[in-house]
Amino acid sequence: MENKTIVIMGSSNPMGDTYDICSAIVKKTGFKFQDLMELVIMPYDYEYENSDDDFIGFMRHVVKDYDHIILASPIYWYTISGTMKNFIDRFTDLLTKEKATGRALRGKSLQLISVSKSDNCPEEFAMPIERTANYLAMEWKGHTHFPIDEKEICERRLESF
């Protein structure tokens, strides 16, 4: 069976804790991996003067090759990282300028991974991503939090992948 899952990491630390969790998942599952810091993705622009960056090309690739998307982010100030927020903000392009790519997200599934030192993940952390999935008619597969200072919990949660 062909693996149709991609893990997209948005972290300011390309070799940090979030990367370690993503690497463990990728090693276990064979999922594909993309670090957003390796792409040039400009902030959302109402005038679309950012259209020559990597966002649209990357999203065309994602909708063509993958059925399940896992977003991975450290918890920064109770929410997703700025890198991930910038990426999600650009989904607006998929609703306005690049509608065919946006429509191709329908029926795909979306999941969220968060990483922090402890198991105190804000209750509302996943809500914006879940609502994004619902708005785009994607199947929401839930949120898994990895408290990296609690190795036993991390190992149990890695088993679900």
Confidence of residue 2 (pLDDT cuts 50, 70, 90): low
Q: Which pTM was predicted?
A: 0.96
In tens, the pLDDT along 132-158 reads: 999 999 999 999 999 999 999 999 999
- Residue 62 is part of which domain span? 5-158
Angle at 19 between CA 15 and CA 24, to 5 degrees: 130
Calculate mean pLDDT across residues 88-105.
96
Taking each helix axis as running N to C, give the angle between helix 127-135 and helix 82-89, from 0 to 180 degrees, rounded to the nearest 10. Answer: 20
Output the domain CATH number for residue 32: 3.40.50.360
Count of domains for the chain: 1
